[in-house]
Structure 1
């Protein structure tokens, strides 16, 4: 037989069946062991009681012999098969009624052992008794010995009755316990089955449903709560992905539509110039191509931002181990805004070192500066200082500010507030989301605070040793 057959049959069983089978086998083994101990204990107790009765009779007969009042036949009480008095030559000198008066109950070797106090079990056929016989001896003066024989038939019948009762009762008891356990285990596993049915009913269209939570505070209850929390997280992630895809498609559609329109205009103008013998490529198409290049650059930036966020979601962004001077990076980034709409001033008198990737930190500062320049009224201030627990980078503008209720929401992807929803301001709604991901990558945090007027972005990063 294939050795894997029992294993396959075992795995075909339900969990309920496995538990009942294991429990039934355990109960049967326990009952068998208990029954064996019970029978052995009963046998030992009855044997000892039988021996004590036989020894008591032998001592009574010996007392009569010592007193010179031993009669022949020897009187015996109930339960004793017969009594013999044997001399040193192995001859029977006295016996109870019905006992053999010619042949002693024990052979010479056994007789010597009995005189020494041994308790022997012999075949009753040699004594004319059915079944085994227990024989004990009690020495008398002059080398004589009192032999008392007691039949073990009653003890054997009692033990046989107990064994038969156990052989009948134990299977019935195991069967009853298995039936009760089947109901109890089924009742216990009912919440698990309810979880399974609930999970089977959850589909893509009904993913907002939750699994039933059984009452109590047991393992199944905690499992249901954990699974519902997992479903909530998955639903939230799925919602963010749907919103992300929808917003990304919307953002990509605008520059693509603009590019298509400008290309169609350029083709028509070039065709018109050809029809009027005007040199192709002159006039308005050059301006359209400049606008087209702007849209292409915007599309490229948006694609790069989407790729960075996708890598962040997959955990594919890795923090560098370089020691970077954030103050120097702030001054470098501020230099790009020399011709900006508002001036960008930097307050970073001392070097502040962090451990990370220069390009990622440069993008973090640049995104904050872009956002501040876009909304500032008069100027933007960038400061780098020691916060006591690390490095504090702040970017402050004097624009309209952000309401407290929106200061966390603006870090969501493609989020624009009402005063910043214009599509021609260069923003895609991903800048602050990227800032938060890059701050997390470097073990830091980013928050918004009131600058009165305006808003101040605060980035806290763990400090590194000076190189």
Structure 2
């Protein structure tokens, strides 16, 4: 079975639809107009014939009809015909022997209108009036030649020509207007075809005005700017990652080469320990890179309803370290999120506090600004104000961090902030009277969850 092909061009489709719609409307209006004009012309002709017939029927009843009957255009055909069908009186244009019509009005309806066609190309519009209701009454006929507008198809030809002309104008106008509207779209398509991954600096021309096409071009340019920034970030990330990976790989290679080429001059156990440290560093970087990639991807798991106070309290009690930790957590603060990801954030913050704290770590959970604020404070050296944002960048490690944890990946705080943002929250290093103070803020569930298990 063949499928009828449709125009692929939007311009052609819209033009075709507009033309078909115009033809449908114009044909309907043309038909109505044609019928109305025909009816009006015929009605006017019959009214004129009735006026003349009424005039001479009154004269016939008084036996005062002249011979011949005077007639004036357009009603030139007048006859008085008796009950036997004989022409009694007539006008010059009418026959003196042949009646204009063999039909006679009935006694109960003395006025009748007839259309008689003596020949195929000649018709008369007649008004017949019976003089008296009696059966033997004569009939007066008055008529005129059928107007040319009714006798020919000139009116239909004119309507058809007008329909075709107007439909053509509508189609041409639609084609031009749609083409003008789509011209910026073609320019956008041409520009987009020039964009490549290696060159995202190309921007789409924005047409004048504030219509949908202009908004599309503006949005596309904004998306291209974001994409260009993202690609640049990926390039910088790849450079930074390769640099960070090169350091432990170079160290591992140096230790292995020393053990291989100078077996008698190196301590084997010490070399293996150093190689393991470099290996741990590589493993930590690769693991955190994998986690960071998963966080950047869409999380298709359904979020859990989590009591933040309960989660934080359980995690603090599960952590072990040389520095004691205290926790003060409000209950009944419910959020939507991933339990495992939030545990990762808490573990990072608590492990960071354990490395830098001198004697104590305090963890609090309280409600603030429509969310749950989780604060982890220690009494260590703290974070300088100039570095409080920089520490959340990938691979950034301050001198204290490198000294206290040589095998770290430099991803811990970056991953923690990404998790916070994925939960529509924030993570920042806040002011503190002494030591470091990290605040994780997560939005609370808006609906009433008095009975969360329900």
Please say if 1:91 is aligned against 2:86.
yes
Describe the shift of the 1:62–1:387 C-alpha distance in structure 2 as closer, same or farther (beyond 3 A).
same
2:286 pairs, out of 276, 298, 303, with 303
Deviation per CA, 1:36-59, whole angstroms, max 9, x where unpaired?
222222111111111111111111
Q: Equivalents in 2 of 1:89, 1:380: separation in Å?
A: 136
Q: Equivalents in 2 of 1:251, 1:10: separation in Å?
A: 57
**Paired residues for 1:102-181 under 5 Å:** 102-108=97-103, 111-112=105-106, 116-125=110-119, 130-141=121-132, 143-156=137-150, 160-181=153-174
What's the secondary structure of 2:111's corresponding residue?
A: coil
Partner in structure 1 of residue 40 of structure 2: 45
Please say if 1:457 is aligned against 2:424.
no
Counterpart contact for 2:382–2:434, Cα < 8 Å = yes
- The number of aligned residues is 439
Which consecutive residues of structure 2, in runs of 5 or more, have no partner in the other structure?
none
Describe the shift of the 1:371–1:241 C-alpha distance in structure 2 as closer, same or farther (beyond 3 A).
same
Deviation per CA, 1:39-98, whole angstroms, max 9, x where unpaired?
222111111111111111111112222444221222222112411112233332222223
Whichever structure has more helix as a proportion of its residues is 1
Q: CA deviation at 1:228?
A: 1.6
Q: Equivalents in 2 of 1:407, 1:116: separation in Å?
A: 110
**Paired residues for 1:41-440 under 5 Å:** 41-108=36-103, 111-112=105-106, 116-125=110-119, 130-141=121-132, 143-156=137-150, 160-270=153-263, 272=264, 284-316=267-299, 318=301, 319=303, 324-333=310-319, 335-336=320-321, 338=322, 343-348=323-328, 359-374=340-355, 378-379=358-359, 381-387=361-367, 389=370, 391-397=372-378, 398-403=380-385, 407-416=388-397, 425-440=406-421
| TM-score between both structures, scaled by the size of structure 1 | 0.82
| C-alpha RMSD of the superposition | 3.3
Q: Equivalents in 2 of 1:359, 1:203: separation in Å?
A: 39
Which consecutive residues of structure 1, in runs of 5 or more, have no partner in the other structure?
274-282
Counterpart contact for 2:105–2:112, Cα < 8 Å = no
